[in-house]
Amino acid sequence: MDFVLVGSLLTVFFLAIIQLTLVLHVRNTLIDAAASGARYGTLADRDAADARDRTGSLIQTALNAGFAEQVSTSEVTYQGLRTLEVTVRAPMPVIGLIGPRDMLEVKGHAAMQP
């Protein structure tokens, strides 16, 4: 009886740690893709559409296409600099990679050339 109670508690605890790790992995991957896409979009021969496409392709490669459905770009002033901002809205993985839509929003910035 004790083994069943302790075993089930440890199993739930272990699964919660695995899920938290997956959420952090998805979040960090989206942040990296948004920042990399923003930097790519500020190159001399690139624009905001290239940044959006680059971010989407990085996310699709690392995760899956469902996480790259809502990628947007805009020019904003961030800490006094004119920057290209890439925003990614993606589902928050609650059970595996399945979760509520638009719960996770990350942004990447890159300074634009004057």
Tens digits of per-residue pLDDT, 32-74? Answer: 999 999 999 999 899 999 999 999 999 999 998 989 999 999 9
Query: What is the reported pLDDT for 72?
Result: 96
pLDDT digit string, tens, across residues 17-39: 998 899 999 999 999 999 999 99
Using CA atoms, how far apart are residues 23 and 97, in angstroms rounded to an integer? 8
Q: What is the pLDDT, as a whole number, of residue 62?
A: 94
**What is the pLDDT at residue 3?**
86
**The predicted structure's pLDDT at residue 103:** 85
Which of 18, 21, 14, 19 is CA-nearest to residue 94?
Answer: 19
What is the extent of the structural domain holding 15?
Answer: 2-111
**Can you tell me the distance from the alpha carbon of 28 to that of 90, in angstroms, rounded to the nearest whole number?**
12
Residue 58 is predicted with a pLDDT of 96
Which uninterrupted H or E stretch holds 78? strand 70-78
Based on the structure, what is the number of domains in the chain? 1
The two three-digit tokens of residue 86, written as one number: 């890439």
Task: Report the C-alpha gap between 107 and 55 in whole angstroms.
Answer: 11
Show Cβ contacts of residue 67 under 8 Å, excluding neighbours closer than 6 positions: 26, 30, 59, 60, 88, 90, 91
For 72, the 3-state DSSP assignment is: strand
pTM: 0.87
